[in-house]
Amino acid sequence: MGETITFWVLAVVSVSAALGLIFSRRAVYCALMLGVVMLSLAVLYAVQDAPFLAAVQIIVYTGAVMMLFLFVLMLVGVDSSDSLVETIRGQRFWAVIVGLGFAALVALGVGNVVFAPSTGLGAVNAAGNVPSLAELIFTRYVFAFEVTSALLITAALGAMVLAHRERLEQRASQRELSRERFVKYGEEGLDPSPLPGPGTYARANAIDMPALLPDGKISKLSVNRYIARYEAEEGTIDPKVAEILEGDGK
């Protein structure tokens, strides 16, 4: 009874999360939906006498693989959403038709089979799930296990080779950067020194406080434009700063 309830709850959750994976436009939501599916599958494994696989599912999939997906999403750009242009006409429609047809085919095929009452893993798991799995992996499947290690090493090396990038030209030294700044100063009149920081006073030193020039006027370069615009909208702007910016506008 408990298994039935667990199954139905998790089946609804995982199928709706899988649908969300298809339908949500933003890639990060897709990743989170996939995480939900993986977690519910982990619980389903645990229910089906596979506690080791449930743990591995959580550690490998929701831990490592999802982290990798999110990491690459951050690299590639979180905003990279799908284009709605169909390259092949009618492809979406036919893809959905084929997918639904496939689901119906397999579901009906499976539904028509009459299974004998489940044997259960009680006898096999008598010594514990992990020891019995270990016995199989290190006897009958030991060669596959060794090959797996080679595969993992190859994958790690391949990822490093693919993601590695050689620097094509030498990095500019400080001397060259400084030279470039002064060439720009000569040609375009750009100030080679960094912009002045915000004012530091006895009672306030925040980014919204403009710095003062030696004659007591406000340095226009130190005014943060975004904050000034916000303050102008709110009506809390310092009249002196407003005056400076007004003069700039004219």
Partner 1 sequence: MTTHYLVLSALLFAIGGIGVLVRRNAIVVFMCVELMLNACNLAFVTFARQHGNIDGQVIAFFVMIVAAAEVVIGLAIIVTIFRTRRSASVDDASLLKY
Residues 57-86 that bind partner 1 (CB under 8 A): 57, 60-61, 64-65, 68-69, 72-73, 75-77, 80-83, 85
- Least Å distance between CB 155 and partner 1? 4
In the chain, the amino acid numbered 115 is: F
- Tokens linked to 102: 């496939």
- State which residue, 141 or 201, has the beta carbon closest to partner 1: 141
Binding mask 156-175 for partner 1 (x = CB under 8 A): x-xx--xx-x----------
**DSSP tag of 120:** -
For residue 49, give both structure tokens.
């006498």
Q: Which of 23, 32, 41, 26 minimizes the C-alpha distance to 96? A: 23
Look at residues 228, 232, 174, 224 and name the one whose alpha carbon lies nearest to residue 196: 224
- As a whole number of angstroms, the distance between CA 208 and CA 224 comes to 6
Q: Is 148 in the site for partner 1 (CB under 8 A)?
A: yes
**Of 28 and 221, which CB lies nearer to partner 1 in the complex structure?**
28
Assess 127 for contact with partner 1 (CB under 8 A). Answer: no
In the complex, the smallest distance separating the C-beta of residue 89 from partner 1, rounded to whole angstroms, is: 14
199-228: contacts with partner 1 (CB under 8 A): none
| Distance of alpha carbon 124 from alpha carbon 133, whole angstroms | 9
How many H helices and E strands in the chain?
A: 10, 0
Among the residue ranges 99-107, 168-176, 194-202, 217-225, the one whose residues contact partner 1 (CB under 8 A)? 99-107
